[in-house]
Amino acid sequence: MKRKETQSLDSVIAEWIRENGLEKPLLEHRVVQQWADILGPTIARYSRDIEVKDGMLRVRITNAALRQELFEQRFRLIQKLNDAVGGEAITDIRLLG
């Protein structure tokens, strides 16, 4: 009887998640859950109604000056969020007032 190549549990779970189309929804969920940790307490204080659907992050920013600053840096923000969760969860951002 031959032994099959062994894999770590992490790699087996990751493969199962990918094969079942759950990777993107999982990454999107991580963005929402980790928003405050990724962007810090100041931005989190002014953030409401954070949601991601089909790669579109929607977040209500209650401070107009902060909303404008985040809008101007949205491409860097997308990169920072995706790097933090380890994949391409976000493709666009809509900042609401």
> How much is the pLDDT for 13?
76
Q: List alpha helices for the chain, DSSP H.
A: 9-19, 23-39, 41-45, 64-72, 74-85
Query: Does residue 78 sit within a domain?
Result: yes
pLDDT digits (tens, 9 = 90+) for 20-46: 767 888 899 999 999 999 999 999 999
Could you give the CA distance from residue 40 to residue 96 in angstroms, rounded to a whole number?
A: 19
> How much is the pLDDT for 1?
54
Query: Does residue 45 sit within a domain?
Result: yes
> What's 52's domain CATH number?
3.30.300.130
The range of the structural domain enclosing residue 82 comes to 27-96
How many independent structural domains does the chain possess? 1
From the list 75, 66, 52, the residue with the least C-alpha distance to 97 is: 66
Query: Does residue 11 sit within a domain?
Result: no
Residue bearing the bigger pLDDT, 97 or 20: 97
> How much is the pLDDT for 15?
78
Query: Does residue 10 sit within a domain?
Result: no
Tokens (6 digits) for 16:
């199962």
**Spatial contact of 24 and 55, defined as CB atoms under 8 Å apart:** yes
pLDDT digits (tens, 9 = 90+) for 53-95: 999 999 999 999 999 999 999 999 999 999 999 999 999 999 9
The gap between the terminal CA atoms of the chain, to the nearest Å, is 65
